[in-house]
Amino acid sequence: KSDLVGLPEGVIEAAAQEAEKKGHAGKWLFNLQAPSFIPFMQYAQNRELRKKLWMAYNTRAFRDSFDNQELVKKIVRFRHERAELLGFTTHADFVLSERMAQSTEKVMDFLNKLLVPSRKAADRDIAELRSFKKSLDGNDEVMPWDFAYYSEKLREKKFKYSEEELRPFFQLENVIEGVFEHARRLYGLTFREVVDVPKYHPDVRTFEVREERTNNYVGLFYTDFFPRETKKSGAWMTAYREQGYSNGHVRRPHVSIVCNFTKPTASKPSLLTYDEVQTLFHEFGHALHGLLSQCTYRSLAGTNVYWDFVELPSQIMENWVREKEGLDIFARHYKTKQAIPPELVEKIKKSSQFQSGYSSMRQLQFALLDMAWHSQNPTLISEVDIFETKVTDPVRVLPKIPGTNSSVGFSHIFAGGYSAGYYSYKWAEVLDADAFEYFQEHGLFNREIADKFRNFVLSRGGTEHPMDLYKKFRGREPDPQALLRREGLISL
């Protein structure tokens, strides 16, 4: 049990349950799924176990019996061949022909513009963390398996709160009620749980969505929030039935959001971290994009938009839980029912820029790696790891550990839809930061601005070019400075 020192009680309890399910009662099981892996890296004092778990995560599918290296090379080769058959020079050129960014050159220019302020801020972040670690341990070496642990301690010191201090205010049931109330205030939607709808698992819940003013039926909304065997990690939105016309009749959508939150136990409800609250709001934004669609063709409805536009409806929703006005709607202590204290909200706001340089560089590193895989002739790439190292070393903030590789587990671009599209996360951050400033200028729940966002973004799907839709909403093109201001990467 000494190996568990530092871990929150809820994390230990969940690990005990996992061990018992596997036939190891009286022990604790930690795995590579986010609800287990992330808190272990943040809180476990045992450095060797942190390293062991981190290495297990970062050596997945690399030089073992499940090695993905040849699959990675085969995937990029086939993509390149398809692009050439269709008249494009590279897979990136093929993909970007139907994106807001339009070309590889524009994407690289966009990423490079963010690199300079991000690198400066990231260097400051790491220098601060090294100094802090030296004050605690006598040495300033920060390895990848140290980063989350010492970052959490530094966050606690700087802002006088921990992620675990926030959990009691984020009971899952309250957060669900809160996200529904946000949808009501912004878009006039109501959610009523229904129990007579077929479900694929007992953990799934279903809600009927209607217009508050007219009671018109909007769609069906599913939630699936807890990990289980055979369920993949992460969080996502799925449309089981997309909105559109069929045989002359409008078919309203059936959409779902799937997450992997800590399951309630006999002694404690499901309490989310602040990051998990943001995740729920993020995926709910995708769900709204699907639910509020008003298109003729299902192929153009809902989230069927250019890939670098699809994250705007989701990422903008995260902004409301950075604001006191948004948190006050649902953040209350699960035992005392006390609203989240204003001073704690202020600490959240101040800490929102904590290590934003490092976070930005990490995302830029992934985006550049993605573009490198898909913007050149893959027949010239012989070794996956050598290629990755060459691409990422110039933008890496922490050292690359021999024997690890991220490409072989980069499911976003090799098993998902983000090939030559990972940059779209930063692209969408620019869009959502700029769009949310519009709400801040007129009121966070200003119905007029929300109606414009609904009418010109959420309801139109892919029926118009996204830049045209954005300009109809905002009155101009997005301003990249909005993101740099929000993240504290430039002075206001």
Catalogue the active-site residues. 283
Q: d(Cα 77, Cα 70) in Å, to the nearest integer?
A: 10
Report how far residue 243's alpha carbon sits from residue 250's, in angstroms, rounded to the nearest whole number.
Answer: 7
Q: Can you spell out the DSSP letters for 387-420?
A: HHHHHHGGG-SSPPPTT--SGGG-HHHHTSS-TT
Find where tokens 């006390």 sit. 338
Q: How far is residue 96's CA from residue 423's CA, in Å, rounded to a whole number? A: 11
Say if CB 261 and CB 269 are below 8 A apart. no
| Coil/strand/helix, residue 90 | coil
The values of phi and psi at residue 285, to 5°, are: -60, -40
Distance CA 321, CA 300 (A): 30
8 A C-beta contact, residue 159 and residue 354: yes
Cβ partners under 8 Å of residue 310, min gap 6: 286, 289, 303, 424, 428
Nearest by Cα to 300 from 308, 311, 289: 289
- 386, 400 in Cβ contact below 8 A? no
- Exposed/middle/buried for residue 268 (C-beta within 10 Å: 0-12, 13-18, 19+): middle
The C-alpha atoms of residue 190 and residue 149 are separated, in whole angstroms, by: 41
Question: How many whole angstroms separate alpha carbon 194 and alpha carbon 207?
Answer: 5
**β-pair type (236-241, 205-211):** unpaired
Question: Which of 442, 443, 478, 440 has the alpha carbon at shortest distance from 457?
Answer: 478
